Structure 1
Amino acid sequence: MNGCYIFHWFLKVPGRFPQLYFFAKPEIPIKLLPDIPEPGSQPALHGDSPIRVQVMESTKTQNVTVEELLEDRDPNNLNQHVQLLWDDVIGEPEGGRSPESAWRVSRFCFKQSRRCCYTVLSILLAPPCALVLGCGFACLAFEQIWCATPGLRCLRVYCFSIRSLCQSLLAATVTPTMESIGHLCKHIRVNMRKDAPEEKDLLII
């Protein structure tokens, strides 16, 4: 039963006979859940949402990064000294200039021959060289990891024991001798005089 009822007991008669009175208040609507709009009641969003824009920007950034990695094949500048262009090899000073046509043809022949020769050598010999280099560096890494580093560690352990032995021997033999010699030499005083006779001893102990 909807509504909110208040029960009151009153004693109207002196004989104190209880009577029950009902006072009904109007219904108070209770809002438990928020109103859910119907589909199509909200206006459509025009343009790209922030999430879609962020995804598009991240995708563009990834594409730019991949393109930069593909373009820059020497990011650590290992072979910048080999980057020889036409201007790095040939230069004509004033008074020794060839005709313009010969200069252009020579530059074209230099660029194309260098590019074609390097391309052919790269196609034919780069994969075998890469295979050999990969195997060689793998063997080198294996030797350093499993042979050289453990061997050096063992040598350090042995050298630590030898160092302790040498320190003990020196502390027992050489250190007292050197301290005694230093104690003796500490009391030597040398006086230099220009008018001193030759037979006079300059060392005073």
Structure 2
Amino acid sequence: MDTVKKGDDPGEVEIYLGDSSDPEESEDEEEPQTLWRAQPSVDEEEDIHTSTLVEISDTKPLINSRDPRGINACLKVEFEDVIAEPPSVRSGDRVWIWSNALFEVSRVWIYRIVTVLLAIPMSVISGLLFAVLNCFHIWTVRPCIHCVLIGTRWLQSFWSIVLHVTVVPLMTSAGKGCGGLGIHLSKE
């Protein structure tokens, strides 16, 4: 088995380079898959955001989950979700591959361009809107609700007394009267 191991560092990756014609391998064993990229170890996962590749690359997210609550789960659009050819009509393979590539590239780059143009103004407008709504709620709505509750405290007390005088005895007596009833089922 031909393997290449880079250095003696435990974080290094071993890549299988053997071919399937090796006489040592038995036919019963599964062939190992070539590892192109190894998963980071637990120690490396903590430092993944500080690596130079992540800082340089704009394709790797700096924030792992940008939609943790799944608010925009309906926007997971792939090429196959939009364009699909039935078996009866088919375009050439090159046309299909180039269409797929152009779809993905245009989707990603147009989204990036539009977000560059609109993300900051929309963030400012959204922040302004939520600040005004919070201010309105904190300084106007809540005090008005408390004033109404304070002003109608006598009405709440009166309504509570009316319910305890009329409804509670009626429901208590109905409950005691129905509590004595029993149902016996018998087969005839």
TM-score norm. by structure 2 comes to: 0.52
Partner deviation per Cα, 1:127-183 (whole Å, 9 max, x = no partner): 1111101111111222222222232233333344212223445777xx39x97xx9x
Classify 1:171/1:127 alpha carbon distance in 2 versus 1 (closer, same or farther; 3 Å).
closer
Question: 2:67 aligns to what?
Answer: 74
Equivalent residue number for residue 163 of structure 1: 156
Structure 2 residue identity aligned to 1:133: S
> Which residue does the alignment assign to 1:25?
none
In the alignment, the residues of structure 2 paired with residue 119 and residue 167 of structure 1 have an alpha-carbon distance, to the nearest angstrom, of 60
More strand by share: 1
In structure 2, the CA distance between the partners of 1:149 and 1:69, relative to structure 1 (3 Å rule), is: farther
2:139 aligns with: 146
Report the counterpart of residue 90 of structure 2 in structure 1: 97
Closer, same or farther: CA 85–163 of 1 in aligned 2, 3 Å: same
Moved over 6 A (4+): 65-68
Compare CA radii of gyration and give the structure with the larger one.
1
In the other structure, the counterpart of 1:127 is 120
Alignment coverage as a number of residue pairs: 123
Cα offsets for 1:7-45 (capped at 9, x unmatched): xxxxxxxxxxxxxxxxxxxxxxxxxxxxxxxxxxxxxxx
TM-score (norm. length: structure 1): 0.48
Give me the identity figure in percent: 27
The residue type equivalent to 2:155 in the other structure is: I
> What runs of 5+ residues in structure 1 fail to find an aligned partner?
1-57, 187-205
- Identify unmatched segments of 5+ residues in structure 2: 1-41, 55-60, 178-188
1:63 corresponds in structure 2 to 47
- The 2-side partners of 1:139 and 1:59 are apart by 45
Change in 2 beyond 3 A, CA 1:159/1:116 = same
1:69 to partner: Cα distance: 5.7
Q: Which residue of structure 2 aligns with residue 15 of structure 1?
A: none
Counterpart secondary structure, 2:68: coil
